[in-house]
Amino acid sequence: MIFHVLGIESSCDETSAAVVRLEGGKIQLLSDITARQEEVHERFGGVVPELASRRHLESLLPVVEAALAKAEIPYQSLRAIAVTNRPGLIGSLMVGVNAAKTLCYGLGIPLIPINHLEAHLSAVLLEGANLRFPLVGLIISGGHTSLYEIQEGWKDFRPLGHTRDDAAGEAFDKGARLLGLPYPGGPAMARLAESGNPQAIDFPRALPSRNEKDFSFSGLKTSLANYLKNHKEYSLPDVCASFQEAIVDALVQKTVAAVQRTGVKDLVVAGGVAANSRLREKLRMALPSSITLHIPPPRFCTDNGAMIAALGCVRFQQQEFVQGADLYGVEVSPSTEAKLARGKHAGK
């Protein structure tokens, strides 16, 4: 079976579309186009939902057209369209979902509603990863920090731990803001950290007990604020390196413990913070050699349409799609637990 799936992502501040080809069970990426909005939100130090939706509205169709043109696939050759419908900013999600519904309706093809967090992890499929389920997945983004045990077919996500307050990416972003660095803070802080000493300042590692499965990052931010209040002069690279080290250590400790507890053989780490090279390095060092670590390349760690299209192929084969009049009922949701569609669900 050969078919083409268009993936659309608009859950936060990236408008992205990609075309993948599924051939003999292998996913091949044909195009991947992303319009970023950093310049829109930078001066506010975070994403402004209203501005994000407006920019998606302007960018979405040109991005979709560019993805199809680059893949040299006409609309008529698409077998289905996969689109993020949860979790995310409601206004942003609505732009992508409404475009996908309309295109699917007009073309007479199915729509595949995609959970953005599940898609982050399945981005490893774009590299042809050989996965052994059940596996442990760590999602670390601007909005989420969660560990799951996942069954065959990217099903049954069993929670193993969550952040109790800020997400790891949010901790980077808030810390960077205190230091006057540009948004998004993660990449800016990581760059400065390269020339700093990670042991210079002993920032706290929250919930250090091995029995504690959750994460917490808000105390770290407070600790940085206090440090800056008490030190008029400091080395910016040292502060960045030490702050980054505290986040990385917490992520590594809880993740390695989860892998050992569950006895899985494979670990997948994804989401914007997975692009962090210190995290990659320390995870590799801490994991037992029997565990295979899968991390998408950095460009597939941040939000992208390719991961949506990749999981779209999996869900399509599992008959998880909606078509015809059932398209009317496809919902968007800020949480992961949304119904896929209000109408009847194909294959169910």
Least distance to ligand KG4, CB of residue 265, Å: 25
Specify the 3-state DSSP secondary structure of 319. coil
253-272 residues in contact with ligand KG4 (CB under 6 A) are 271-272
Q: Which residue type does 26 have?
A: K
305 binds, among ligand KG4, Zn ion, none (CB under 5 to 8 A by kind): none
**Cβ distance to ligand KG4 smaller for residue 173 or 326:** 173
Considering CB distances under 5 to 8 angstroms, the limit depending on partner class, which of Zn ion, ligand KG4, none binds residue 173? ligand KG4
In angstroms, rounded to a whole number, what is the distance separating the alpha carbons of residues 267 and 119?
15
Shortest reach from residue 143's CB to Zn ion, in Å: 7
276 binds ligand KG4 (CB under 6 A): yes
Which residue, 110 or 185, has its beta carbon nearer to Zn ion?
A: 185
Compare residues 31 and 145 and give the one whose CB is closer to ligand KG4: 145
The residues, any chain, with a CB within 8 Å of residue 340's CB and separated by 6 or more, are 85, 113, 320, 322, 330, 331
Is 115 an interacting residue with respect to Zn ion (CB under 5 A)? Answer: no
Please identify, using beta-carbon distances, which residue of 64 and 301 lies nearer to ligand KG4.
301
Nearest CB to Zn ion, comparing residues 310 and 346: 310
b/e map 101-113, b = 16+ CB within 10 Å: bebbeebebbbbb
* CB nearer to ligand KG4: pick between 19 and 190: 190
- Tell me how crowded residue 323 is: count the other CB atoms within 10 A of its CB: 16
| 187: partner contacted, choices ligand KG4, Zn ion, none (Cβ within 5-8 A by kind) | ligand KG4
Nearer to ligand KG4, 5 or 273 (CB): 273
Give the single-character DSSP code of 43: G
Q: Which of 5, 275, 309, 332 binds ligand KG4 (CB under 6 A)?
A: 275
* CB closer to ligand KG4 out of 27 and 117: 117
Nearest CA among 271, 276, 312 for reference residue 117 = 271
Distance (Å, whole) CA 2 – CA 336: 30
303, 306, 311, 327: which one binds Zn ion (CB under 5 A): 303
For the CB of residue 169, give the shortest distance to ligand KG4 in the complex, in Å: 3
CA dihedral sign of residues 99, 308, 247, 209: positive
| Site size for ligand KG4 (CB under 6 A) | 19
Name beta bridge partners: 215. Answer: 163
Judged by CB, which is closer to ligand KG4: 110, or 187?
A: 187
For residue 170, the minimal CB distance to ligand KG4 (Å) is: 6
Of residues 131-190, those binding ligand KG4 (CB under 6 A): 141-143, 169, 172-173, 184-187, 190
Least separation in angstroms between residue 93's CB and Zn ion is 12
Judged by CB under 5 A, the residue of 85, 92, 115, 141 near Zn ion is 141
**Tokens 């995870």 label which residue?**
283
Residues 12-31 that bind ligand KG4 (CB under 6 A): 12
The partner residues of 146 in beta bridges, in order of sequence, read: 139, 162
Residue 74 to residue 266: CA distance in whole angstroms: 38
DSSP per residue over 49-101, as a string? HHHHHHHHHHHHHHHHHHHHHHHT--GGGEEEEEEEEESS-HHHHHHHHHHHH
Contact 73, 30 (CB under 8 A): yes
Q: Are the beta carbons of 72 and 101 closer than 8 angstroms?
A: no
| Inter-CA distances, 237 with 40, 179, 196, 242, Å | 27, 11, 4, 9
Contact flag: residue 14 with Zn ion (CB under 5 A): no
The residues binding ligand KG4 (CB under 6 A) are 12, 141-143, 169, 172-173, 184-187, 190, 271-273, 275-276, 302-303
**Interface contacts to Zn ion, rule CB under 5 A:** 141, 303
